[in-house]
């Protein structure tokens, strides 16, 4: 089970960490991800989990779309305020390229040019939508730039996914948010810690989110404020799929039934199949 932990450091810095190996392995199974796709999507899902925990209400919802010019194509991740995340990727089997230093070349696979769009639905009339340019395609830097550029929120983001062929061996992320009026001295000490936060996949090897927070911030005044499970869980249901089938229009839907014997709709996020017989399809349009 993946767990997310939040802490208040020095009274002015909010640190969230999530250990997400199980989430990444679920995504690999659902989408049959290549290693580089698993690294990119795993990082994005980890960030979505961290962001979802900022919501006040369980039903609040965010969608982050990483639309780069690399071979992976568009990556979409979603999270609610109740610890559930899900994701979709255009090209899950994109070829994996390894850099000279042995790391997977996630930046090139995502693409170094493009946009990161975040849509937050907190039950208001209009959802909040923010967009920024991608800076490296490595996901963590792209989100950090998004928060600075689009939400005027200075922060640090470190995300990592460790893989052994097509299995995730460790994964997680840390998000450090600086609150207003943070004293200069604390800020510079926290920045020093943030520069040292690399190799995130190793940090989470055999360690919980709380272990990682204590490893980096244990020498500060530290208060653990929350710890909760996070998981890959899709919120699709037949009622939502009914709307998609209705969206086809009666003529189109019934002609598919005539041709194929039934309508089959597969959820992009979890792979669940929904089928409609001729009678069920006709009933939808009554």
Contacts 24+ apart (CB under 8 A), 92-98: 92/31, 92/32, 92/33, 92/34, 92/37, 92/41, 93/32, 93/33, 93/34, 93/37, 94/34, 94/36, 94/37, 94/70, 95/34, 95/36, 95/71, 96/34, 96/35, 96/36, 96/37, 97/36
Torsion sign (Cα): 167, 217, 211, 152: negative
Q: Which is nearer to Zn ion, 33 or 157 (CB)?
A: 33
Q: Does 267 bind Zn ion (CB under 5 A)?
A: yes
Rounded CA separation 201/168 (Å): 10
Q: Taking the mean position of all CA atoms in its chain, how far away is CA 80? A: 11
* Selected range binding Zn ion among 35-43, 44-52, 169-177, 271-279, rule: CB under 5 A: 271-279
At its nearest, how many Å lie between Zn ion and the CB of residue 136?
31
Question: Which of 236, 253, 263, 281 contacts Zn ion by CB under 5 A?
Answer: 236
Q: Does 234 bind Zn ion (CB under 5 A)?
A: yes
Q: Answer yes or no: are the C-beta atoms of 231 and 83 closer than 8 Å.
A: yes
Q: Which is nearer to Zn ion, 30 or 109 (CB)?
A: 30
Q: Which is nearer to Zn ion, 7 or 45 (CB)?
A: 45
At its nearest, how many Å lie between Zn ion and the CB of residue 48?
15
At its nearest, how many Å lie between Zn ion and the CB of residue 272?
5
Q: Which is nearer to Zn ion, 176 or 236 (CB)?
A: 236
Question: Which of 269, 274, 276, 281 contacts Zn ion by CB under 5 A?
Answer: 269
Q: Which is nearer to Zn ion, 147 or 269 (CB)?
A: 269
At its nearest, how many Å lie between Zn ion and the CB of residue 240?
9
Q: What is the CA radius of gyration of the chain?
A: 20
# residues near Zn ion by CB under 5 A: 6
At its nearest, how many Å lie between Zn ion and the CB of residue 198?
34
Q: Which is nearer to Zn ion, 80 or 138 (CB)?
A: 80
At its nearest, how many Å lie between Zn ion and the CB of residue 79?
14
Q: Answer yes or no: are the C-beta atoms of 232 and 27 closer than 8 Å.
A: yes
Q: Does 231 bind Zn ion (CB under 5 A)?
A: no
Q: Taking the mean position of all CA atoms in its chain, how far away is CA 171? A: 12
* Nearest alpha-carbon partner for 87 in 76, 79, 97, 101: 76
Paired residues of 210 in beta bridges: none
Rounded CA separation 62/222 (Å): 29
At its nearest, how many Å lie between Zn ion and the CB of residue 71?
25
Q: Which is nearer to Zn ion, 237 or 255 (CB)?
A: 237
Q: Where do contacts with Zn ion occur on this chain (CB under 5 A)?
A: 234, 236, 267, 269-270, 272
């Amino acid at each position: 089970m993946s767990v997310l932990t939040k802490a208040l450091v020095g009274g002015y810095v909010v640190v969230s960490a999530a250990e997400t190996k199980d989430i990444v392995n679920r995504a690999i199974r659902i989408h049959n991800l290549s290693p580089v796709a698993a690294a990119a999507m795993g990082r994005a899902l980890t960030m979505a989990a961290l962001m979802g925990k900022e919501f006040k209400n369980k039903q609040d919802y965010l969608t982050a779309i990483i639309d780069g010019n690399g071979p992976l194509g568009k990556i979409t991740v979603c999270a609610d305020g109740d610890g559930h995340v899900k994701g979709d990727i255009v090209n899950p089997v994109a070829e994996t390229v390894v850099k000279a230093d042995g790391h997977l070349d996630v930046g090139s696979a995502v693409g170094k040019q493009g946009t990161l769009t975040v849509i937050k639905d907190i039950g208001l009339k209009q959802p909040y939508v923010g967009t920024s340019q991608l800076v490296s395609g490595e996901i963590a830097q792209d989100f950090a730039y998004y928060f600075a550029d689009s939400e005027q929120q200075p922060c640090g983001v470190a995300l990592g996914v460790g893989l052994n062929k097509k299995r995730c061996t460790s994964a997680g992320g840390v998000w450090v948010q600086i609150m207003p009026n943070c004293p200069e001295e604390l800020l510079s000490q926290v920045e020093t810690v943030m520069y040292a936060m690399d190799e995130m996949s190793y940090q989470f090897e055999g360690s919980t989110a709380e272990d990682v927070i204590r490893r980096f911030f244990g020498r500060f005044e530290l208060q653990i404020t929350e710890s909760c499970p996070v998981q890959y869980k899709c919120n699709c249901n037949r009622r939502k799929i009914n709307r998609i089938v209705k969206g086809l229009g009666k003529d189109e839907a019934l002609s598919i039934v005539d041709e194929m014997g039934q309508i089959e709709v597969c959820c992009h996020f979890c792979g669940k199949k929904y089928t409609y017989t001729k009678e069920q399809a006709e009933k939808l349009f009554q």
